[in-house]
Amino acid sequence: MDDADPYGYGEDVHVADIGLTWVASKWSIPEALLPEDVERYIPGGSPSAFWSGVAEVAVDDFDRSKARQLGQDIRRLVESPVPDEAIHTVWLGATHGVLDPAGDGLDARSFLLQLEEAWLARVRREDAAYPPPPPEPVVDEEVCRAVLGVLQPVADDLDRAVRATSYGVVPTGLVPALEQVVTDACADLGYRLFLGAMKAYFVEIDQRSHDAFRALGERFGYPEFLVGDNLNHQG
């Protein structure tokens, strides 16, 4: 695989997200459903059932080599020392507090394992022996510092946007939770969850942050539009 494109997404110019953050980016779908479609897409009104369905769709929307990123992301969090409460908080942040897994009585890790189960079941319909991929978290200290370096200048703006919202479950302590994921789980996933929160709460950024965000995305080898899609850049 090309070192400049570690995930192999370079050819997919229209991909706007990957892995767990692709799943999280679907947070607005339930609000857009017509009443007659709710039961079809959210059986019994169950939040976890909706998200499990999205995890299955990831296999259909991406080929298996790319859908594996979802499994890696899940394991990056589940196997990390990051407290369950912090994982729950970053999930709420990336989804604007929509369909909180606690609504189904699930803690964050149980919810992620349910996503993994749904994803694996879909993959194994075509390959019964498919092994879950290793998490391979990005834990290099210099890369972690680089992610924190783009997060911290906009941390106060993100915090204000979260506290000002009246929509969804408010992810209290979002910035510290994101920092924990970056340093204690995976810098790559932490950065994508941070971007997801910035987009979900429509936090405006200046040209300097925009350029820094894009440069870091290129460093990770993200698809062309992953960073900029739905980002509130008023440049």
Nearest to 172 by CA among 184, 183, 162: 162
121-141 pLDDT, tens per residue? 888 888 898 888 899 999 999
DSSP output for 49-63: HHHHHHHHHHHHHS-
Residues 37-72: pLDDT tens digits?
555 656 565 667 777 877 877 776 555 556 788 999
State the pLDDT at residue 164.
Answer: 95
CB atoms within 10 A of CB 221: 18
Sketch the domain layout of the chain as residue ranges: 19-220
pLDDT, position 5: 37
Its pTM stands at 0.88
pLDDT exceeds cutoff 70 at 176 = yes
| Helical ranges in 64-107 per DSSP H | 64-78, 84-94
- CB count, 10 Å around CB of 103? 12
